[in-house]
Structure 1
Amino acid sequence: MALLMFFAITFTPMLHGAPRVTACVPAIYVFGDSLADVGNNNHLEVAEINKANFPHNGVDFPDRVSTGRFSNGYNGIDFIAKKLGFERSPPPYLSLTNVTQMLIGVNFASGGSGVLDTTGPGTITFSAQIAYFRNVSRALAEQMGDELAKTRLSESLFLISTANNDMFAYYYATGAKNTTSNDHFISSLVDKFENHLQSLYQLGGRRFWIAGAGKIGCIPFLRSRSTSGGCVEELNEMARRFNEVAMPRLNQLSLQLEGMKYSYTNYYDSKMALKMTPGALRFKELTSACCGGGKYNGASQCTLNASYCSNRDEHYFWDWFHPTQAAYKLVAQVAYNGTKGISTP
Structure 2
Amino acid sequence: MAYMCFFFFFFFLFINISWSESAQMVPAIFVFGDSLADVGNNNHIKLSTLKANFPHNGIDFSGGKATGRFSNGKNSADFLAEKVGLQISSPYLSLTSISNKSSVFLSGVSFASGGAGILDGNSNPFGESISLNKQIEYYSTVYGDIVQNLGSVEAQKHLSKSLFAVVIGSNDLLGFFKSDSTLRAKSTPQQFVDMLVSTLKDQLKRIYNLGARKLVIVGVGAIGCCPAQRIQNKTGDCNEEANYWSLKYNEGVKTVVQGITSELKDISYSFFDTYGVVLDYIKNPATYGFTEIRAACCGLGNLNAKVPCLPISRYCSNRKEHIFWDFYHPTERASSMFVDTLFDGSQQYVHPINVKQLIAI
Query: Which residue number in structure 1 is paired with residue 30 of structure 2?
Result: 29
Query: Which residue number in structure 1 is paired with residue 301 of structure 2?
Result: 294
1:144 and 1:280, CA in 2 relative to 1: closer, same or farther beyond 3 A?
farther
Query: Which residue number in structure 1 is paired with residue 131 of structure 2?
Result: 125
What secondary structure is seen at the aligned counterpart in 2 of 1:29? strand
Whether 1:168 aligns to 2:169 is no
Whether 1:40 aligns to 2:41 is yes
Whether 1:105 aligns to 2:105 is no
Deviation at 1:245, TM superposition (A): 1.4
Which structure has greater helix proportion? 2
Query: Which residue number in structure 1 is paired with residue 94 of structure 2?
Result: 95
Query: Which residue number in structure 2 is paired with residue 246 of structure 1?
Result: 253
Question: What is the 5 A alignment of 1:1-345?
Answer: 22-48=23-49, 50-86=50-86, 88-96=87-95, 97=98, 98-118=101-121, 119-120=123-124, 121-122=126-127, 123-172=129-178, 173-174=181-182, 181-270=188-277, 273-274=280-281, 281-345=288-352
Highest relative contact order (Cα 8 Å, sep 6+), 1 or 2? 1
One-letter code of the match for 1:79? F
Partners of 1:47 and 1:301 lie apart in 2 by 16
Partners of 1:211 and 1:285 lie apart in 2 by 24
1:278 and 1:21, CA in 2 relative to 1: closer, same or farther beyond 3 A?
farther
Whether the 8 Å CA contact 1:276–1:339 is kept in 2: the answer is no
One-letter code of the match for 2:63? D
1:175 and 1:129, CA in 2 relative to 1: closer, same or farther beyond 3 A?
closer
Partners of 2:31 and 2:300 lie apart in 1 by 31
What secondary structure is seen at the aligned counterpart in 2 of 1:289? coil
What secondary structure is seen at the aligned counterpart in 1 of 2:259? helix
One-letter code of the match for 1:41? N
Whether the 8 Å CA contact 1:141–1:149 is kept in 2: the answer is yes
1:146 and 1:104, CA in 2 relative to 1: closer, same or farther beyond 3 A?
same
Whether the 8 Å CA contact 1:297–1:320 is kept in 2: the answer is yes
What secondary structure is seen at the aligned counterpart in 2 of 1:229? coil
What secondary structure is seen at the aligned counterpart in 2 of 1:288? coil
The structure whose Rg is larger is 2
Gap runs ≥5 in structure 1: 1-12, 14-18
The one-character-per-residue Cα deviations of 1:287-314 (angstroms, maximum 9, x if unpaired) are 1111000000111111111111111101
Deviation at 1:275, TM superposition (A): 9.2
- What percent of counterpart residues are identical? 39
Whether the 8 Å CA contact 2:24–2:85 is kept in 1: the answer is yes
Whether the 8 Å CA contact 1:224–1:294 is kept in 2: the answer is no
1:280 and 1:37, CA in 2 relative to 1: closer, same or farther beyond 3 A?
farther
Deviation at 1:270, TM superposition (A): 3.0
Deviation at 1:185, TM superposition (A): 1.2
TM-score w.r.t. length of structure 1:
0.89
Whether the 8 Å CA contact 1:32–1:110 is kept in 2: the answer is yes
What secondary structure is seen at the aligned counterpart in 2 of 1:319? coil
1:154 and 1:277, CA in 2 relative to 1: closer, same or farther beyond 3 A?
farther
What secondary structure is seen at the aligned counterpart in 2 of 1:317? coil
Whether the 8 Å CA contact 1:225–1:299 is kept in 2: the answer is no
Query: Which residue number in structure 1 is paired with residue 7 of structure 2?
Result: none
Partners of 1:150 and 1:175 lie apart in 2 by 40
1:165 and 1:278, CA in 2 relative to 1: closer, same or farther beyond 3 A?
closer
One-letter code of the match for 1:264? F
Deviation at 1:246, TM superposition (A): 1.4
The one-character-per-residue Cα deviations of 1:226-263 (angstroms, maximum 9, x if unpaired) are 22212221211110100111112211110101211001
Whether the 8 Å CA contact 1:275–1:281 is kept in 2: the answer is no
Gap runs ≥5 in structure 2: 1-16, 353-361
Whether the 8 Å CA contact 2:221–2:278 is kept in 1: the answer is no
The CA RMSD measured in Å over matched residues stands at: 2.3
Partners of 2:185 and 2:347 lie apart in 1 by 33
Whether the 8 Å CA contact 2:297–2:316 is kept in 1: the answer is yes
Report the count of equivalent residues.
325
